[in-house]
Structure 1
Amino acid sequence: MSRPPIEIETAPNPTATVIVMHGLGADGNDFVPIAGELDLSVVGPVRFVFPNAPVMPVTINGGYQMPAWYDIVVPDLEAEEDEAGLRRSQATVEAVIAGEKARGIAADRIVVAGFSQGCAMALMTGLRHTERLAGIVGLSGYLPIAATTAAERHAANHETPVFLAHGRQDPVVPYAAAVRTREALGALGYAVEWHEYTMAHSVCMEEVADLNRFLLRVLG
């Protein structure tokens, strides 16, 4: 990561952690306001961790340098993927999870979440993690290197609840890509909670409310 993660604790001595990866061109600050809209008080103290992606040239944007978890080469996100970049960022997210464990948060009290590129990283990392996590959240994103998931997923997270949400008018990550992700995970036996909304590539308050309920369930 180019910069250390942003951290917010709802109260001292957190007993659970929600790790949230931002999208392309944003940074860890992007989802701080969303965390402020969540009410997880009945869960107890929660630490939100917002990692910052490294700054790198992004091919589809003319090589312009920006925060990115991996390169995007062509508009069809699933057609030509930056597997090396994806795996580097997977290792980065794993290091953030390890850091939370080292601070006393058990794996089954950790949720990995993300938006757009961050969603790809949450799904890629969460399904492969070697200890059971509390939940995996994917917002407005898709499953990267999907063909490798069946072979590389870890049995520890086969029963981990997955929250997927997407806008039907999304021009960045097409709705169809999200549906393919839902279907792929369902075919592998994952318990997917699916939500769709009348919105583009963004977050809406109905989605935040649905996410709040999901987090209360998996961390409660």
Structure 2
Amino acid sequence: MGAPKLRRVSTRLGELDCQVVEGLPEGKSPELAVVLCHGFGAPAGDLVPLAGELAAMEESLAQRVRFIFPGAPLSLAEWGMPTGRAWFTLPEAIMRGQMRDWAAYAKEVPAGLPAARRAVTSVVAAVSTATKLPFGKIVLGGFSQGGMVTTDVALRLEECPSGLCILSGTLLAEAEWRQKAKARQGLPVFQSHGRHDNVLPFSAAERLRDMLVQEGLTVDFLPFDGPHTIDGEELERMAAFLKARLGS
């Protein structure tokens, strides 16, 4: 079977410019929406190819799901990344490679996180309005910093989302997240992380997993032998996770 034919359009949803990708028959409404946020320093469309890869693995995703890829609001041009975007800025010591104490960082609420949360929440609300899908039929997720901001949003939405995909993310705002997670018992989470990640350590991903499990979320955790990247097995498991969110 060849790759499914997908359509891609650029549009503004809420506060952010987004790429929307789907293969639904004309006039058919999606049964599930998937909002995926890219990582720190990546261009706005960095994760867009994932729609085609996931849909090729699970045909139902092409026929029934709308994928939305928001571009982060902050430019990193001043750091020498003219197309690089960020959800929130990192401490200068981290940017310069001088400080990597992620255990200490996990206890902090990054200065720009509330604004990033508001922006992504506005996208989720706009997607819900456009598709007439409740939050319970919207999956949130992202890679690295995109996984951090979508975790934050998933724990705070007025209603529980359909699922959460954390690809190479890490723990932030630990006290707040733990408190919010208590109201998300049973939320399905797919989390994956490379054992050889030299950007966000594997041990920090384990701490995030353990916190979510302790508070009653259902976490499917996939470790893989790789660096700070998206792995092939990870995509297969994520495609299966999304198919399960679709239901029969």
Q: CA distance change for structure 1 residues 27 and 3 in 2, over 3 Å: closer, same or farther? A: farther
Is the Cα–Cα contact under 8 Å of residues 139 and 165 in structure 1 kept in the other structure? yes
In the other structure, the counterpart of 2:43 is 27
**Residues 68-217 of structure 1: pairs in structure 2 closer than 5 A:** 68-73=86-91, 74=94, 75-80=100-105, 81=108, 83-103=110-130, 104-153=132-181, 155=183, 157-217=184-244
* TM-score w.r.t. length of structure 1: 0.89
Residue 49 of structure 1: how far off its partner (Å): 0.5
TM-score computed with the length of structure 2 as normaliser: 0.80
- Tell me, yes or no, if the aligned pair for 1:127 and 1:158 is still in contact at 8 Å: no
Deviation at 1:107, TM superposition (A): 1.2
Give RMSD over aligned pairs: 2.3
Size of the aligned set, in residue pairs, is: 217
- Stretch deviating more after TM superposition (20-29 or 146-155): 146-155
What letter matches 1:79 in structure 2?
A: A
Distance 1:92 1:7, change over 3 A: same
Contact 2:16 2:123 in 1 (8 A): no
Tell me, in whole angstroms, the C-alpha distance in 2 between the residues paired with 1:67 and 1:172: 17
For residue 17 of structure 2, give the secondary structure of its aligned residue in structure 1.
coil
For residue 34 of structure 1, what is the amino acid of its counterpart? L
Deviation string, structure 1 residues 43-80 (Cα, Å, up to 9, x no partner): 5421111001122459xx96977411111113334534
Deviation, 1:15, is 2.2
Structure exhibiting the larger radius of gyration computed from Cα positions: 2
Evaluate the alpha carbon distance shift between residue 62 and residue 102 of structure 1 in structure 2; reply closer, same or farther with a 3 A threshold: closer
**Contact (CA 8 Å) 1:108, 1:132: kept in 2 or not?**
yes
1:2 Cα deviation (Å)? 8.4
Segment of structure 1 superposing worse, 158-167 or 28-37: 28-37
The aligned counterpart of 2:85 is 67
CA deviation profile, 1:150-187 (whole Å, cap 9, x unmatched): 333472x3221011100000000100110110111111
* 8 Å CA contact retained: 1:113, 1:138: yes
Mind listing any 5+ residue stretches in structure 2 that lack a counterpart? 1-13, 95-99
Give the secondary structure class of the aligned counterpart of 1:165.
Answer: strand
User: Partners in 2 of 1:154 and 1:188 — Cα distance?
Assistant: 5
Identity fraction in percent? 34
